[in-house]
Amino acid sequence: MAKKMKINDVIELLKDADVEALEGVTFEGDIELEIDETAAGIDSLFAYTMGQETAKIGLYLLNLARSVGYPVDQIAGMPAQPLAPSVPKLSKLIESKFSVGTNDEWKTQIQEVTLGATSSDGGTRGHTITLGGEKALPYYFDAPMPNRNYVTIDVFDMPIGMAKAVKSNYEDVMEDPGEWAKKVVKEFNADLVTIHLISTDPLLNDTPAVEASKTVEEVLQAVDVPIVIGGSGNPEKDPLVLERAAEVAEGERCLLASASLNLDYERIAAAANKYGHVVLSWTQLEINAQKELNRKLMKQCGVDRDRIIVDPTTAALGYGLDYAYSNMERIRLAGLIGDEELNFPMSSGTTNAWGAREAWMVSSPLKEDSDWGPREYRGPIWEIVTGLTLALGGNDLFMMMHPGAVKVLKEITQTLFGSIKTDEIDLSNWVAEVVA
């Protein structure tokens, strides 16, 4: 940008500078100078001793003086025109301070939602877990994150096919959901357990809702962490199954997974209200559908705000994670700036990462690819990166399967959350010090 100033201002400015030889130079009239700050051609020494701003003004003044006949070149030791662009050499660094503001658009807090109920609240869980409550994007410096991320590990009510790297951890407990639940809590450090009642699917075992609810009781007795109850995904049967499961788990403040627009969400919402649970509001990568369903749950079904968690759908790394990530980030940003139909904690079916062929296939089906290497190392990192990316997009609760992936995801999310302390590292000579 060019600044305009009058010549008398310039002289005024230069008054205190050591340019005595210019004294007595007068100009008639109001001559305006356009001073281009990006113009090259300022003598570096002059610039350095006088400061850039003054130097530029002085230079223009001298040029002007020259143009009206003053022998300025002999005055200040300035080089003759044209001034070759020369680079100022610095003898020392120009000390600067860095600062940046906080985001003042984030005025709305994400709803806090508690899962599990202890005996003091009419449940039997050993502790509760609270999700949400953020006032900024996750791990941002604008506002501390009140609650960390949590991981719930999947347990199924029947043996299912799964990737070899996952299956090897569960082969001994697959026939017994109670033992399976104990294992994920005790050995794999699950914060919660998800019991998926997939055997109720009419295309699988078509287990009646009453019988499936016994599995829920079994899991509640086996572990004392809060639990998530999942159906089979069959839109006709799920309301029935979840209703019955909600009833046997009355007062435990479980998460019912899930209410969606393609099934009778009213029944699931009613079951949550009646028996004291939380609803997982599930939509498919569509922010407006998420708003619609949340609105219906609140307005039409009377679900309290502190009983809604949203699952905007998780697509695996390489298989639509870009949509899943941006969808979550948009939902979280909308919530923070005041959309009260979207400011809820979020949950991710991170296990979906195992659907990616890179996670489980022995080798690439495409002969042109470089070698994919051993699959037992590809799968867990696929689950980790899928979850981690969504953590950065605002996801709070992760539904996962591989114990190694759970461990690493917890480590990175809790590091960014700020609860992992370690010795300090000196990086100043890392280039030579990294030994690998």
Partner 1 sequence: MKVNSPLQVYKYLPQTNCGECGEATCMAFASHLLDRSNKIEDCPPILDGKYKKKYLELSELLASEIREVIAGVGETAVKIGGDDVLYRHQLTFFDPTVLAYDVSDTMSEEELVGRVKKISEFKKFYVGAFLKVDMVAVRSTSNDPSKFKAAVKKVTETTTLPLILCSFNPEVLAAGLEVCADRKPILYAATKENWQQVSELALEHKTPVVLFSPGDLDELKTLAVSFKEIGINDIILDPGTYPRGEQLKTTFENFLKLRRAGIKEGQKDIAYPIMATPITSWMVNEDPITASYWETVLASVFTVKYGDMMIMHSIEPYALLPEVHIRSTIFTDPRTPVRVDPGVYEVGSPTKDSPVIITTNFALTYYTVESDISSNDINCYLATVDTDGIGVQASVAGGQLTAAKIKETFDNAGFDFKEKTSHNTVILPGMAARLQGDVEDTTGLNVKIGPPDSGRIFGWMETNWPPK
Residues 200-219 that bind partner 1 (CB under 8 A): 203
CA distance 212 to 268: 16
Question: Binding string, 302-321, against partner 1, x = CB under 8 A?
Answer: -----------x-x-xxxxx
Q: Which amino acid is at 218?
A: E
Q: How far is the CB of 247 from partner 1 (least distance, A)?
A: 25
- Region near partner 1 per CB under 8 A, out of 120-128, 182-190, 266-274, 377-385: 377-385
State yes or no: residue 272 binds partner 1 (CB under 8 A): no
User: Among the candidate windows 62-70, 89-97, 115-123, 126-134, which touches partner 1 by CB under 8 A?
Assistant: 89-97
Pick out residues in 97-116 that bind partner 1 (CB under 8 A): 97-101, 103
Q: Is 3 helix (H, G, I), strand (E, B) or coil?
A: strand
Query: Quick one: 18 or 104, whose CB is closer to partner 1?
Result: 104
User: Out of 76, 301, 333, 337, which residue is the one contacting partner 1 (CB under 8 A)?
Assistant: 333
For partner 1, the closer CB: 223 or 315:
315
When asked if residue 429 is in the footprint of partner 1 (CB under 8 A), the reply is: yes
Residues in the chain: 436
Please report whether residue 51 would count as binding partner 1 according to CB under 8 A: no
Two tokens, residue 101: 């503001």
CA 360, 363, 368, 373 dihedral sign is positive
Q: How many CB atoms lie within 10 A of CB 29?
A: 7
Task: Indicate which single residue of 174, 235, 248, 251 sits in contact with partner 1 (rule: CB under 8 A).
Answer: 235
Residue in the structure block whose two tokens are 């599930």: 282
Site for partner 1 in 143-202 (CB under 8 A): none
- CB 218, CB 177: distance < 8 Å: yes
* Per-residue 3-state assignment (H helix, E strand, C coil) for 208-236: CHHHHHHHHHHHHHHCCCCEEEECCCCCC
Q: Is 323 in the site for partner 1 (CB under 8 A)?
A: yes
Question: Where does residue 407 rank: exposed (0-12), middle (13-18), buried (19+ CB within 10 A)?
Answer: middle
**Between 275 and 282, CB nearer to partner 1:** 282
Contacts of partner 1 in 126-145 (CB under 8 A):
139-141
For position 74 contacting partner 1 by CB under 8 A, the verdict is no
In eight-state DSSP terms, residue 422 is -
Nearest distance from C-beta of residue 281 to partner 1, angstroms: 14
Cβ(340)–Cβ(388) under 8 Å?
Answer: no
Cα–Cα nearest to 157, from 176, 179, 138, 172: 176
In the chain, the amino acid numbered 52 is Q
What does the per-residue mask of binding to partner 1 show for 408-427, with x meaning CB under 8 A?
A: x---x--xxxx-xxxxxx-x
Q: State which of residues 113, 115, 241, 381 lies at the interface with partner 1 (CB under 8 A).
A: 381
Pick one of 150, 180, 382, 398: the residue that binds partner 1 (CB under 8 A). 382
Alpha carbon of residue 272 to chain centroid = 29
